[in-house]
């Protein structure tokens, strides 16, 4: 999933993994791991 911050200054990329264990149709265990990558634009330099 990729989205931008409200001010548009950075792009955020999320990757996730879920591990779900079902016991008789009910959730017995739910785990999640996320990796976040932020790409900020370079600030403009005054000339």
What are the pLDDT tens digits along the chain (47 aa)? 999 999 988 999 999 999 999 999 899 999 999 999 999 866 555 55
- For 41, phi then psi, to 5°, come to -75, 150
Residue 47 in domain: no
Residue 40: per-residue pLDDT: 84
Domain count, the chain: 1
Residue 23 in domain: yes
Residue 45: per-residue pLDDT: 59
State which residues form the domain around 15. Answer: 2-40
Q: Tell me the pTM.
A: 0.54
Pairing of strands 26-40, 2-4: unpaired
């Amino acid at each position: 999933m990729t989205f931008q911050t409200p001010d548009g200054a950075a792009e955020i990329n999320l990757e996730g993994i879920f591990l779900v264990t079902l016991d008789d149709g009910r959730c017995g265990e739910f785990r999640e791991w996320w990796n976040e990558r932020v790409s900020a634009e370079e600030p403009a330099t005054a000339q």
